[in-house]
């Protein structure tokens, strides 16, 4: 059994760019000048708690167990000493980092390249290997000079079995997010890889938690490891405002729409518990005017990469995600995390919240909870050591007020622009030529800037009776690959009405029956004339014109072998 040497660090975790204890600097850790140069260029000034505790023993060549949550700077904690111990005169692979997901492998690879940009004449050659990419592409890359391989356990095993990856020259292994590899069923694969590793090697194991199976792996494969642990005085990143909203289950979608309507953030991450909910909620938000997409484990890697890239490039604002799919989703400008479904495991909450407040920014985390989940909420608060302030769902008038404020802010910015005087002169000419007052011109400009919707209806200030609905027919259906969100978005975009003006949608093969608010049926039908839905130009009509009998539902199928009962 291995002997554990405890090096406890009694500090709270830090965000990725993190200031740490004032008595330590990166120059105090024994790092080489070329690595310090890269660290300085990346803007890091002082090491985080896990970095200060892990780098010195790893530079000494010791095995290590690092207990730290996502967002504490653990990548640099193992990458910097790993880079310093590479011999770039050797051509073969010298270090292997195992990660639970493709996204995390790519993230770590990018970070290692950045840290090693000044190491050697041409820098360190890093190769991420993972499923979803053709294996022959990776085989070709492994045939050239590669110093560090970063990959998922399954793909690393594939290369070992094919003989395209040789561990003979590997002297450093890192197990990143070991507890997540356990949760995803990769622990046997990890042990298989370690069984094929050279006897003389250094192993760094990083994990947010250390359940018994992870401890057993450490005892079996690590030699007298240093154990660097961040004490749990506060598990959540400082600078994140944590709030909770009590919401009945049937009101959660409406509550989320209102929250998103009043919050101002470049990027929002909404966590749900299932793949189906991720897809349905993203579709619902998209249909109600929000730029949202989903990411979950049921999507292929190319789809997930596209969503992450669109979020990072600020082409979408909201991503609805499951926990596993969000591993490795590292986007600095996420300002808000919404726990649409409260996690069962308090530690999962810590990982979720850690997605915001990165790179020195402030962030907000809002958790929805139902009355039956009160004990669960209290358990999370006890575990994190921080209480969530209770707030209410924003009222419709607050949504309207916030939209008005946003428009005023844009107007003020435009008034301060360099060409404002030209537009002022133009406005005066319009008023003189058309016989209008300045106020009339300004009001007309505001009306155009606001959009076609009535001032109140634009933010859902209007009440809709779910029992007062009229059914219309739109000649597009499943055959056209139309989604409910497409129809809701078309109605909202064409009329300016909020999405709640649309009720139940029944998609048939080539037509769709759609319930809409009866007081606005004429307005909706007038707007849905020769509009494009799912690539097809269509015109809506009443499902039951006046005088026509209502559409009857099909009777239930009879039981029995024949077409009728005998």
- Residue-wise pLDDT for 538-564, tens only, equals 999 998 775 444 444 344 444 444 433
Please name which of 89, 149, 91 lies closest in space to residue 119, comparing C-alpha atoms: 89
Residue 235: inside a domain, yes or no? no
pLDDT of residue 458: 44
- Residue spans of alpha helices (H) in 301-360: 301-312, 346-353
pLDDT of residue 461: 44
3 state SS of 453: coil
Token reading at 297: 């484990």
Q: Say what the pTM is.
A: 0.49
Residue 554: inside a domain, yes or no? no
Burial class (CB in 10 A: 0-12, 13-18, 19+), 281: buried
Structurally, the chain folds into a number of domains equal to 4
* 151-154: long-range contacts, CB 8 A cutoff, minimum separation 24: 151/96, 151/97, 151/98, 151/99, 151/105, 152/98, 152/99, 152/100, 152/101, 152/102, 152/105, 152/186, 153/98, 153/181, 153/186, 153/189, 153/190, 153/193, 154/186, 154/189
Residue 553: inside a domain, yes or no? no
Q: 262 and 139 in one domain?
A: no
Burial class (CB in 10 A: 0-12, 13-18, 19+), 407: middle
Residue 421: inside a domain, yes or no? no
Q: 296 and 213 in one domain?
A: no
Q: 165 and 26 in one domain?
A: yes
> Is the Cβ–Cβ distance between 159 and 165 less than 8 Å?
yes
Orientation angle between helical segments 135-142 and 153-162, nearest 10 degrees: 60
Q: 473 and 443 in one domain?
A: no
Residue 550: inside a domain, yes or no? no
> Is the Cβ–Cβ distance between 433 and 441 less than 8 Å?
no
pLDDT of residue 459: 41
What is the Cα–Cα distance from 482 to 199, expressed in whole angstroms? Answer: 58
Residues of the chain with pLDDT under 70: 1-23, 43, 45, 69-72, 231-238, 324-329, 357-361, 451-467, 546-566
Domain at 497, CATH number? 3.30.70.330
In angstroms, the Cα distances linking 527 to 21, 468, 496, 514, 520 are: 62, 20, 10, 15, 11
Please name which of 31, 64, 425 lies closest in space to residue 224, comparing C-alpha atoms: 64
Q: 251 and 220 in one domain?
A: no
Q: 155 and 253 in one domain?
A: no
Q: 67 and 16 in one domain?
A: yes
What is the Cα–Cα distance from 88 to 85, expressed in whole angstroms? Answer: 9
Please name which of 81, 112, 114 lies closest in space to residue 99, comparing C-alpha atoms: 112
Domain at 370, CATH number? 3.40.50.300
Look at strands 126-129 and 363-369 and give their pairing.
unpaired
Which of 164, 196, 230 finishes a domain?
A: 230
What is the Cα–Cα distance from 116 to 122, expressed in whole angstroms? Answer: 10
Which of 208, 230, 252 finishes a domain?
A: 230
3 state SS of 400: helix
What is the Cα–Cα distance from 423 to 432, expressed in whole angstroms? Answer: 14
Residue 422: inside a domain, yes or no? no
3 state SS of 419: coil
Which of 165, 195, 230 finishes a domain?
A: 230
Q: 412 and 387 in one domain?
A: no
Q: Which helix (H) or strand (E) holds 434?
A: helix 420-434
* 441-448: long-range contacts, CB 8 A cutoff, minimum separation 24: 446/407, 446/411
What's the CA angle centered on 518, arms 512 and 522, to 5 degrees? 80
3 state SS of 129: strand
Alpha-carbon dihedral angle through residues 441, 442, 448, 449, given to the nearest 10 degrees: 160
Residue 66: inside a domain, yes or no? yes
What is the Cα–Cα distance from 47 to 27, expressed in whole angstroms? Answer: 10
Residue 548: inside a domain, yes or no? no
3 state SS of 157: helix
In angstroms, the Cα distances linking 430 to 279, 421, 425, 452 are: 49, 14, 9, 22
Q: Which helix (H) or strand (E) holds 207?
A: strand 202-207
Q: 301 and 181 in one domain?
A: no
Q: 260 and 383 in one domain?
A: yes
Please name which of 358, 183, 144 lies closest in space to residue 267, comparing C-alpha atoms: 358
Q: 185 and 277 in one domain?
A: no
pLDDT of residue 287: 79
Look at strands 267-271 and 389-391 and give their pairing.
unpaired
Q: 280 and 322 in one domain?
A: yes
What is the Cα–Cα distance from 205 to 191, expressed in whole angstroms? Answer: 13
In angstroms, the Cα distances linking 216 to 198, 230, 287 are: 20, 20, 49
Question: Which residues form the domain of 445?
Answer: 397-416+430-452
């Amino acid at each position: 059994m291995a002997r554990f040497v405890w090096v406890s660090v009694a500090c709270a975790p830090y965000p990725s760019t993190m200031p740490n204890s004032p008595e330590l600097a990166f120059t105090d850790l024994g790092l080489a000048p070329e690595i310090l140069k890269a660290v300085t260029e990346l803007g890091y000034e002082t090491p985080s708690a896990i970095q200060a505790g892990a780098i010195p023993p790893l530079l000494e060549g010791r095995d290590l167990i690092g207990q730290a949550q996502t967002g504490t700077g653990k990548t640099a904690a193992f990458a910097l000493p790993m880079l310093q111990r590479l011999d770039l005169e050797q051509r073969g692979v010298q270090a292997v980092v195992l990660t639970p997901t493709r996204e995390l492998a790519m993230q770590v690879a990018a970070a290692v390249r950045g840290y090693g940009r000044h190491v050697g004449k041409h820098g360190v050659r890093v190769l991420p290997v993972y499923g979803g990419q053709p294996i022959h592409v990776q085989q070709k890359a492994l045939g050239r000079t590669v110093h560090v391989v970063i990959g998922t356990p399954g793909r690393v095993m594939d290369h070992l079995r094919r003989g395209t990856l040789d561990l003979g020259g590997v002297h450093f292994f890192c197990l990143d997010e070991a507890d997540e590899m356990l949760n995803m069923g990769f622990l046997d694969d990890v042990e298989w890889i370690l069984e094929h590793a050279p006897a003389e090697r250094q192993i760094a194991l990083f994990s947010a938690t250390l359940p018994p199976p992870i401890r057993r792996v450490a005892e079996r494969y690590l030699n007298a490891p240093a154990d660097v642990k961040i004490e749990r005085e506060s598990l959540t990143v400082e600078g994140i405002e944590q709030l909770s909203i009590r919401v009945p289950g049937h009101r959660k979608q409406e509550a989320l729409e209102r929250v998103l309507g009043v919050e101002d953030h470049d990027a929002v991450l909404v966590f749900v518990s299932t793949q189906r909910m991720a897809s349905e909620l993203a579709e619902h938000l998209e249909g109600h005017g929000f730029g949202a997409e989903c990411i979950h484990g049921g999507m292929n890697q190319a789809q997930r990469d596209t969503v992450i890239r669109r979020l990072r490039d600020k082409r979408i604002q909201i991503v609805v995600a499951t926990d596993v799919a969000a591993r490795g989703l590292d986007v600095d400008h996420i300002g808000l995390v919404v726990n649409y479904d409260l996690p069962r495991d308090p530690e999962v909450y810590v990982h979720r919240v850690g997605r915001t407040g990165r790179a020195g920014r402030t962030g907000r985390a809002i958790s929805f909870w139902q009355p039956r989940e009160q004990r669960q909420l209290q358990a999370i608060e006890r575990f994190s050591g921080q209480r969530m302030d209770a707030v209410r769902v924003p009222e419709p008038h607050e949504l309207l007020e916030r939209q008005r404020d946003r428009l005023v802010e844009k107007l003020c910015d435009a008034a301060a622009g360099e060409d404002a005087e030209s537009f002022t002169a133009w406005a005066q000419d319009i008023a003189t030529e058309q016989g209008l007052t300045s106020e009339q011109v300004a009001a007309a400009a505001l009306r155009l800037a606001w959009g076609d919707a009535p001032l109140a209806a634009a933010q859902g200030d209007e009440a809709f009776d779910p029992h007062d609905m009229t059914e219309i027919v739109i000649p597009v259906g499943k055959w056209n690959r139309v989604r409910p969100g497409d129809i809701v978005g078309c109605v909202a975009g064409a009329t300016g009405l909020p999405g709640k003006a649309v009720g139940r949608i029944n998609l048939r093969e080539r037509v769709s029956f759609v319930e809409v608010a009866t007081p606005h049926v004429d307005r909706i039908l007038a707007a849905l004339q020769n509009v494009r839905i799912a690539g097809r130009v269509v015109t809506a009509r009443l499902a039951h014109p006046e005088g026509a009998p209502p559409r009857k539902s099909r009777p239930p199928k009879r039981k029995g072998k024949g077409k009728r009962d005998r």
